[in-house]
Amino acid sequence: MLPLGVIDMNCELVDPEDLLNQLRILKSANVDGVMIDCWWGIVEAHAPQVYKWSGYRRLFQMVRDLKLKLQVVMSMHECGGNIGDDVHIPLPHWVTEIGETNPDIYFTDREGRRNTECLTWGIDKERVLKRRTAVEVYFDYMRSFRVEFDEFFQDGIISEIEIGLGPCGELRYPSYPAKHGWKYPGIGEFQCYDKYLMKSLSKAAELRGHSFWGRGPENAGSYNSAPHEIRFFRDGGDYDSYYGRFFLNWYSQVLIDHGDRVLALANLAFEGTCISAKLSGTHWWYKTASHAAELTAGFYNSSNRDGYAPIAAMLRKHGVALNFTCFEMRTLDQYEGFPEALADPEGLVWQVLNAAWDACIPLASENALPCYDREGYSKILENAKPLHNPDGRHLSVFTYLRLSPCSHGETQLSRV
């Protein structure tokens, strides 16, 4: 992955000479190519359907000249405020202007706090963005990119497009935002209180015949709660009640439906190109019955359910690869740092690996946090090509996070 701030807010390369030197080092380390975020907030910054791609074109030409490949991320979210973010790139200005008069275009928690990191999935089909729906806006953006860079597709320089589907580009709810005070290993909060998602919930409750279920959980704690403290998430808690199962089914289905809609349009925009979607590695509280942090993020993966198989099935429907994080993490390290979190990244990775393989979809990965240690590197290799797998299954791609001064002269950026 290239640095987040390689393109500035005027859509120009920040330091072309330094970047060219870094790309040459990567080429000498035998990497296949680089990943770059194409930020919606930069390209369509000032007016609807007015796109500026100049800096990206210059960057792509440099990559092509070095005979490297490109993985391009359609980043339809804000950059800044999350772990590893060293620049701030907001949503397009014309979108945030709409948000000033209609803040319900953003995900909202129970206290009414808005999260401007990305648009709520409640407006996927609502014409609230200058007479366009959110999915129409995303499609127009993707189509503009495909037309602008046609030569790089034809030449095979762009080998993959990753479709941003939520915060940090991941298919999840923004349930653990640092800007609202969340700290690891808090369970996070449900993010369904904008008027559009609440309308959807009310409609689902009425169809079920229990209109009084058209509300969010009232006993789900706060961002930094632990599951055993909270009635909804504790063992035997309300998450497994008739209402809890109804709510969690609806909440997780909204996530799947959003991915389904956007990826269908991505296939239209990028026909013939490999497409991927990223899921987050929400590994804390994995060893509890409720899997509370996964539930608030939209993954209905409690101990009596497989929350990732339905997502993998949706990806298979569109021929989309699954990109998963935290491949470098070891469960033992989590116990040494935060034993109370009952985290199990290795168990989560194994579950998601099998969900993807069972659905027969390509599986890609990246490290969740900067990784320069031998143990983490060995864990990546172990997960990339599991030993004794009778079917010979392995990752299709591994992308290293991230090119930085610590990695320029290293050979850690190796082919899997």
Does 37 count as an annotated binding residue? yes
What tokens appear for 248 in the block?
């969690």
Asked if residue 282 belongs to a known ligand binding site, the reply is no
Question: How far, in Å, CA of 327 to CA of 29, rounded?
Answer: 21
Among 296, 266, 286, residue whose Cα is nearest residue 167: 296
Residue 366 among the catalytic residues:
yes
Q: Determine if residue 368 is labeled as part of a ligand binding site.
A: yes
Among residues 78, 117, 170, 346, which one is catalytic? 170
Catalytic residue among 126, 160, 346, 366: 366
Any catalytic annotation for residue 151? Answer: no
- From the list 280, 83, 28, the residue with the least C-alpha distance to 166 is 280
77 known ligand binder: yes
d(CA 375, CA 332): 11
Instruction: Determine whether 85 is exposed, middle or buried from the number of CB atoms within 10 Å of its CB (0-12, 13-18, 19+).
Output: middle
- Whole-number Å distance between alpha carbons of 133 and 139: 10
367 is in an annotated binding site: yes
Instruction: Determine whether the annotation assigns residue 249 to a binding site.
Output: no
Write the secondary structure of 132-200 as one string of H (helix), E (strand) and C (coil). Answer: ECHHHHHHHHHHHHHHHCHHHHHCCCEEEEEECCCHHHECCCCCCCHHHCCCCCCCCCCCCCCHHHHHH
Tokens standing for 376? 């983490």
The response to whether 85 counts as a known ligand-binding position is yes
Phi-psi category of residue 211: left, alpha or beta, with phi > 0 → left and psi -120 to 50 → alpha: alpha
Binding-site residues sit at: 37, 77, 85, 278, 283, 325, 367-368, 402
Binding-site residues for substrate sit at: 37, 77, 85, 278, 283, 325, 367-368, 402
Any idea which residues carry the catalytic annotation?
A: 170, 366
